[in-house]
Amino acid sequence: MIYLDNSATTKPYSEAMDTYRTVSEQFFANPSSIHSLGGKSESLLSKSREQVARLLGVDDGEIVFTSGGTEGNNLAIKGAALAYRSRGRHLITTCVEHASSMNAFRQLEEMGFEVTYLPVDHDGRISFEDFKKAYRKDTILVSIMHVNNEVGTIQPVREIGEFLKTKPTTVFHVDHVQGFAKVPLQLKNSGIDLCTISGHKFHGPKGTGILYVRQGTVIAPLLSGGGQEGERRSGTENLPGIAGMVRALRMTLEHEKDGIAHLSDLQAQLRKGLSGIENAVIHTPVSGAAPHIVNVSLKGIRSEVLVHALEKDEIYVSTKSACSSKDSGASDILMAMGIPEEEAAQAIRISTAFENTNEEIAAFLSALAENVQQLKTVMR
């Protein structure tokens, strides 16, 4: 099996799952219980938070554990908008956000907020100048995806963060789900107030995530309950998942530098191989893109047909975001980049992880070329 759909989810580290099982069995008590078993669970929860904070270079109180990227984005976007609506009702985002962010903004529009959706160029990147022109005195929230989940384009979040440092009435949220451990991003003193990270994107258990909330930033809770996570995210904490995620986080960051270099090498190999396949059009920009994603259209072949053909060879890629892949039609993100609808409907996403090898990429490219040739013959 060759798994090249790591932007959708990653295979959990066996060590992370070992931790999950151990904590499930030995620290099963509710961290909110006042008896000694609950105290042991609470202590492990606190240690997990401390480890995450140390690894991310932030303070313990700035870490909120969530169920993943969708919850993190919703909590950040809706929570900030609702908390600061007395300051204004204008919000800024892009037209190429993940569905969890995009639909949160649409819901806020229904509640009376005004949203500016920044356009992108042919590389899928917003203009910093467009952002500055869109900014207003009543802008209370800016939310930008760091790395696009379909094409890998990196947005100018560092520049935006620096700009917003001088705008204390505006909250800046970054969706860092795809960029984490592939495109490093400093949180401390960056101008970033809120940042979403998802555990299953770096080999942790599903149903786990982190929301960084800079000290002094207020978010309205979306869930009413017992006031866990500093009264920002009620609900009994998923302690086994949290512990497993922290183990995966530590392991991933230990290999980050070498891993990024390896991903860049795999991406170069993919680009070279794809350039030799007739009618292959790569949409991921050559510069300013994450090293683990390559989006390409094979003209004349619909993406889902090619995905299933490769599946027969036990090679797994995807069409677009996993959250949207079952929707029929072309990618909205590719069309926002100016790519014709027919060509956008022929795109596949190849996404790698540290564990993928050059031999796997070579085998994939060989199988892809063979399947493309066979499908074109059948379709004539």
Q: Are residues 124 and 139 in the same domain?
A: yes
Number of domains in the chain: 2
How high is the mean pLDDT of the chain? 96
Residue 328 CB partners (closer than 8 Å, separation 6+):
none
Q: Are residues 68 and 135 in the same domain?
A: yes
Q: Are residues 27 and 115 in the same domain?
A: yes
Q: Are residues 230 and 327 in the same domain?
A: no
Q: Are residues 231 and 265 in the same domain?
A: no
Mean pLDDT by 10 residues, the chain (380 residues): 98 98 98 97 98 98 98 98 98 98 98 98 98 98 98 98 97 98 97 98 98 98 96 97 98 98 98 96 98 97 96 95 60 97 97 98 98 78
Q: Are residues 21 and 91 in the same domain?
A: yes
**CATH value at residue 169:** 3.40.640.10
Q: Are residues 261 and 118 in the same domain?
A: no
Q: Model confidence over 80-118: pLDDT tens digits?
A: 999 999 999 999 999 999 999 999 999 999 999 999 999
* Whole-number pLDDT of residue 376: 79
Strands annotated E in the chain:
2-3, 63-66, 90-94, 114-118, 139-145, 171-175, 194-198, 209-213, 280-282, 293-298, 315-316, 347-351
Within 13 A of 322's CA, how many CA atoms are on the CB side?
Answer: 16
Q: Are residues 212 and 296 in the same domain?
A: no
**CATH value at residue 287:** 3.90.1150.10
The range of the structural domain enclosing residue 278 comes to: 2-9+256-379
Q: Which of 234, 253, 272 is the last residue of a domain?
A: 253
> Which of 29, 82, 222, 323 is flagged as catalytic?
323
Tokens of residue 316, six digits: 């797994």
DSSP annotation of 14:
H
Q: How buried is 374 (Cβ within 10 angstroms: 0-12 exposed, 13-18 middle, 19+ buried)?
A: exposed
Q: Which of 218, 253, 288 is the last residue of a domain?
A: 253
Q: Model confidence over 112-144: pLDDT tens digits?
A: 999 999 999 999 999 999 999 999 999 999 999
Q: Are residues 331 and 233 in the same domain?
A: no
* Whole-number pLDDT of residue 320: 73
Q: Which of 222, 253, 284 is the last residue of a domain?
A: 253
Q: Are residues 23 and 51 in the same domain?
A: yes
Q: Are residues 237 and 263 in the same domain?
A: no
Do the strands 293-298 and 347-351 form a parallel or antiparallel pair, or are they unpaired?
antiparallel
* Whole-number pLDDT of residue 329: 77
| Nearest Cα residue to 292 out of 104, 152, 175, 148 | 152
Q: Are residues 304 and 369 in the same domain?
A: yes
Catalytic-residue membership of 323: yes
